[in-house]
Amino acid sequence: MNLMKSLKDYTIVIRLDDNNTFVAHIPLIPSCHAWGKTLDEACAELVNVFEMIQEEYSEMVISNANTLN
């Protein structure tokens, strides 16, 4: 069950860090951040992190709904 918006609905901020790695994050989701040696690696890792957060959010919503029943 997917209750969050899709990744394309969020603003993604990417910056080059001091150690020449790329850091990507979604400002509206505080725990959604990733890094990589290349821009592509950082973006791919951000997709993975976003999907994990989506799954956790969905499980939390289902658990809360079951508690109410």
All domains of the chain in start order, with CATH: 8-64 (3.30.160)
Residue 45 has a pLDDT of 98
Rounded CA-CA distance 32/45 in Å is: 10
pLDDT at 20 over 90: yes
pLDDT, tens digit, 9 for 90 and up, residues 42-55 = 999 999 999 999 99
pTM score, two decimals?
Answer: 0.80
How distant is the alpha carbon of residue 8 from its chain centre?
A: 11
Rounded CA-CA distance 9/21 in Å is: 25
Token code pair at residue 2: 């997917």
